[in-house]
Amino acid sequence: MNKSLLNELIEWARILAIAFVVAFFINNVIITNSYIPTPSMESNLPVGSRLFGFRLTYAFSKPKRGDVVIFDYGYECKNCGRMYQKSDTNICPYCNTENNHNKKVHFIKRVIGLPGDHIEIKEDYVADTELFRSTLFEDASFQVPCGHVYINGEKYEEDYLNEPMIVNGFYKPIDVVVPDDCYYLLGDNRNNSEDARFWANPFVNMKDIEAKAYLIYWPLNRIGLIR
């Protein structure tokens, strides 16, 4: 191998190494590239959407009410295949496999409750089934017990919800106070979202919130800022 070819190969290797380091830094320190696999945030984030989050948003400030955030929820067990919320035990609660053998799971939800907030979800009206976009009731026609989120005693208006929020039976009322350094997170598709209402620990610690979701970049017809 002549010297000029060797020098060229070394230069290409150097360029590729720099590009790899820069890409790794951007993706792990500045932005996060996320995928929406479930309908829990519809209609704002449909299934199949891809988006960018900015990791540095909360380096100098705290999450605000209404922010859509990407956070570390827990793990998917490689042994039993079940997903579970992170806890102090560091093992899968179903088969005792250690967390370091399992796949990390990240969720995307909206910040509803801030530290110290008194959060209530309670039934306060009924809605006709024709107001629901979901297939919960198919062609049935009757009234459904629904409600709103109340924060510190005040009704919280949420114009991004895709249908009335059911508060009855499976969708039980909520009455909690958010601890220090924690947040209460809910999905926008309130009747089809695994969120704080159903988690063993309903609160997400600040240290587990990794980024604020900012921009949908796929599909192309959905490109835009996340509201």
pTM listed for this prediction: 0.86
pLDDT at 18 over 70: no
pLDDT at 25 over 60: no
What is the mean predicted confidence (pLDDT) over 58-69?
Answer: 94
Mean pLDDT score across all residues of the chain: 88
Alpha-carbon span 27 to 109, nearest angstrom: 20
Alpha-carbon span 106 to 226, nearest angstrom: 18
In this prediction, residue 5 has a pLDDT band, given cuts at 50, 70 and 90, of low
| Higher-confidence position of 138 and 227 | 227
* pLDDT at 105 (0 to 100): 93
In this prediction, residue 180 has a pLDDT band, given cuts at 50, 70 and 90, of very high
What is the mean predicted confidence (pLDDT) over 95-116?
Answer: 95
Q: Are 215 and 52 in contact (CB under 8 A)?
A: yes
Q: Are 195 and 40 in contact (CB under 8 A)?
A: yes
**How many Cβ atoms from other residues are within 10 Å of residue 9's Cβ?**
11
In this prediction, residue 2 has a pLDDT band, given cuts at 50, 70 and 90, of low
Burial class (CB in 10 A: 0-12, 13-18, 19+), 178: buried
* pLDDT at 7 (0 to 100): 62
In this prediction, residue 8 has a pLDDT band, given cuts at 50, 70 and 90, of low
What is the mean predicted confidence (pLDDT) over 116-137?
Answer: 90
Q: Are 54 and 27 in contact (CB under 8 A)?
A: no
* pLDDT at 10 (0 to 100): 65
- Model confidence pLDDT, tens digit, residues 188-223: 999 999 999 999 999 999 999 999 999 999 888 888
